[in-house]
Structure 1
Amino acid sequence: MTHSDADVQMLASALDLDPGGVSILSREPLGTGSVTGMQMQGDERLLYYLDTSGLSVRAETGLVSVDGSRPTRIWQHPADPHLPALAPVAFENAADTLLGRLGLRAAGSPEMVADRPGRRAVLRVATGDHDVWLKVVRPSRVERIVRAGEAAASAGIPVPLVHGWSEKGLIVMAGADGRPAAEVEWEPRELLDQVDVLRTRLAQATWDHRSAGILGRVDWYATRGDDRVAAVLADAQRLLGASADEPQVAVVHGDLHFGQLFLGGEGITGVIDVDTLALGDIAEDPAAFLSHAIASALLTRGDGGDRVWALADLASQRWGTDTRVRGLALIHLAGHMIAAQERGEDDRVAGLGNAARALAAGIAPSGAAPKNALIDNFESP
């Protein structure tokens, strides 16, 4: 029985449901286990989460069974026990009083923009002429996240203004300056130049939180992936093992990709999600950026896809001579493959695997594209 089958069976048994009416939406590592999101057939709004993380929480919000000292939890969205501030702000008019205390007036209901169960959620609230963002995190992490933003701002990183925060795990933020990079026409080489400037500024930040980075997920990936994922992880270990030098350590974003960037007339005008700011391997950020570009290119059709493939190939040329960058990027790609595998997207798993093999061999990753991007003759649309 696969992990997917076991999770579905466990949820169906606990809630007395037909396993055939349960589908998996997501699974991510959390604590020493995972959290799996599942949807009920016939009602897309009915989302349940199975949590085997073993992490302690302030209060339980659903069903709990304990095997030895390890709890297994089932909760219904948005009652995430790891994010106690989520349910109070997720419903209509729930944010009015909160924003009023900060001198802001809500002009609509909170809109869920992103949700990573057990880790964080982001909601958007209109306040008239601009939006306010509500970031919900674990209470144990909220102060560190706020301080990380302050450290990044002190190093000249254009992070969004924090209006206020609560020790219960809520941060109220302004929007980032500029427009999301995914919505702007950029030239790949120029964008990579700007990313390198950003990396230099990040390295100058004063921040002492350490992180294992993507290496901390290898064991979890190894137990969840199929043979194709195992092959990518083996290539990653080979490349990382071939690097004779110790990793260079500096402050890194920790989850850097073009989805985190906002652009304006002066290049990068906004950077979001510096929650992961950490002292870590300097290869982390280029590896994350490269792997995300590959994963995004496989999802982008038409001329836009060629442009993102160009970004991936140029990033590989620029940073991929460092075997650590390529090795870490392969681990990221293994994670993307597992996510696609869980959703039954076999073609995407294959495409990511092809790109990973090309990257491991030092070949342009666009070789995985249905239409190869011609870098030398590439022009922005």
Structure 2
Amino acid sequence: MQEARLLERAIGEAGRLVAVEPFGEGSIARFTVDAGENAGEWFVDTSRQAVPRETGFVVRGTEGLVARIWRHPLDPRLPSLRTAVDPVKLARIAAAAGTSGEIEARVLAYRPGRRAVVRLTQHGVHLFVKVVRPSEAESLVDIHDACRAADVPAPEVVHWSPAGIVVVPDAEGTAGPVAAARTSPDALLDAVDDLRERFLAVDTTRIARASVGTRLEWHLERIAAALPDRRGEVAELLPALAPHVRRIGPPRSVHGDLHIGQLFFTGPRVSSVIDVDTAGLGDPADDAAAFVGHALASAARNAAAGRDGDAAVLEGIAAEAGERWLRDPHATALTSLHLLAHGIRAAERSPEAAHRLVDRARELVRDRVGR
């Protein structure tokens, strides 16, 4: 692939492809180099979008910028990331705040160019550092505050910096996947429905994360490249999905990336919802699709790994959520796209799971989009 050739041109080796995400006019591809002086995670950015300061290699062609390449954590759009994962610098910050002792920094999530979540642990206490573009930090604080004002239990911001840092405490309650194993799908989804209603009341002008429907052709091209023997079946999805991916109705306040892993439960109620970084005005059907798609993708991964009990729990939740929320071709088409997006990420590590996800996406199109 082009990105691998660009990385080899820059550092002398192509690395192992881990993931690709759409970005700007192109994408950002993540590679791992396992050994040697270049060992680590490398990123090849073909978006052609400007950055405040270059932090790695720049590849130019006759028509200008072709790609920029950097090694983690030197993300040019997230300048605070290198501080958030540096235990020495974190210890100095903690000392200035009056605490001492070893700090463990663990990256829990990272979307290159967009955001990262780093868990800091000191004396058994967790704090979560959201690393974002400097221009987005204040907006992230505002959406946390707006959610809490509408009785959406987002974490309280305990510290933030215009350099692109927002710090929140640990979530309260039982983690969603654990609660799911102890609760009936019907009761769990009653709590999620209540949360979704509260999200609609969030007062914000912020724009939610872009709908998966805005990248229809990109997702189809990528899953076809990842599973070339399914290319013909994937191609058949384009005319079936294209008429149904646009939002129906005005934008409403939504989470933007709702799934069971974002939720914590106390009794019959969602007591915490995390990662509201993606929240804002958007399409309520995207939250439904993200939730069902994530449940089905998690079920496929568990089934491929032989964890049939966990897979069955998630399948039950997805089935109930589908009956509640996937009642029109629009929400169903978005869910199919979410499944393909999960399939792209699964293809490298679990081809079996990726094939399962393509099958489920095709089943949804066949059984529901045409209703």
TM-score normalised to structure 2 length = 0.88
Question: Matched residues in 2 for 1:230 and 1:144: separation?
Answer: 39
Is contact 2:199-2:253 (8 Å) kept?
A: yes
Residues 1:129 and 1:52: Cα distance change in structure 2 (over 3 Å) = same
- Could you tell me which residue of structure 1 aligns to residue 187 of structure 2? 190
Q: 1:66 aligns with which of 57, 60, 65?
A: 60
Contact 2:220-2:340 within 8 A present in 1 as well: no
Helix, strand or coil: the match of 2:146? helix
2:251 aligned residue = 249
Paired residues in the alignment total: 352
Match of 2:117 among 107, 119, 122: 122
Q: Which amino acid aligns with 2:203?
A: T
Q: After TM superposition, where is structure 1 displaced by more than 6 Å over at least 4 residues in a row? A: none
Letter aligned with residue 253 of structure 2: V
1:293 and 1:312 in contact (8 A); partners too: yes
The match for 1:271 is 273
Check whether the contact 1:233–1:334 (CA below 8 A) recurs between aligned residues: no
* Deviation (angstroms), 1:59: 1.3
Letter in 2 for 1:289: F
Match of residue 292 from structure 1: 294
Residue 7 (str. 1) matches residue 3 (str. 2): yes
What are the within-5 Å matches in structure 2 for residues 37-48 of structure 1? 37-42=30-35, 46-48=40-42
How far off its partner does 1:90 sit?
0.9
* 2:90–2:103 CA contact under 8 A, matched in 1: no
Q: In structure 2, what is the Cα distance between the partners aligned to 1:171 and 1:248? A: 30
Determine helix, strand or coil for the equivalent of 2:271: strand
Q: Assess if the C-alpha contact under 8 Å between 1:229 and 1:338 holds in 2.
A: no
Is 101-110 or 145-154 further displaced after alignment? 101-110
- Which is worse superposed, 257-266 or 76-85? 257-266
Q: Which residue of 1 aligns with 2:227?
A: none
146, 150, 155: which is aligned to 1:155?
150
- Which shifted more, 92-101 or 325-334? 92-101
2:187 and 2:357 map into 1 onto residues whose CA distance is 26
Q: Who is 1:139 aligned against?
A: 134
TM-score by length of structure 1 reads 0.86
Which residue of structure 1 aligns with residue 321 of structure 2? 315
Q: Does the 8 A contact of 1:232 with 1:334 survive in 2?
A: no
How far apart, CA to CA, are the structure 2 residues paired with 1:49 and 1:246? 36
- The SS at the match of 1:144 is helix
2:134 aligned counterpart, secondary structure: coil
SS at 1:162's partner residue? coil
- Report if the CA contact (8 A) 1:107-1:125 is conserved: no
Aligned to 1:225: 223
What SS does the aligned partner of 2:257 have?
coil
* Distance in 2 (alpha carbons) for counterparts of 1:358 and 1:104: 55
**Letter of the structure 2 residue corresponding to residue 310 of structure 1:** G
Deviations 1:5-41 (A, max 9, x none): 2211211122122x4xx21011111122111111114
**Matching residue's letter, 1:202:** F
Q: Are the aligned partners of 1:236 and 1:326 in contact in 2 as well (CA < 8 Å)?
A: no
Superposition RMSD in Å: 2.2
**5+ residue gaps, structure 1:** 364-381
What residue ranges of structure 2 are gaps of 5+ in the alignment?
225-230
Q: What's the CA shift string for 1:113-159, capped at 9, x where partnerless? A: 22221111111112325211111111122111111111111110111
Distance in 1 (alpha carbons) for counterparts of 2:98 and 2:336: 46
**Match of residue 34 from structure 1:** 27
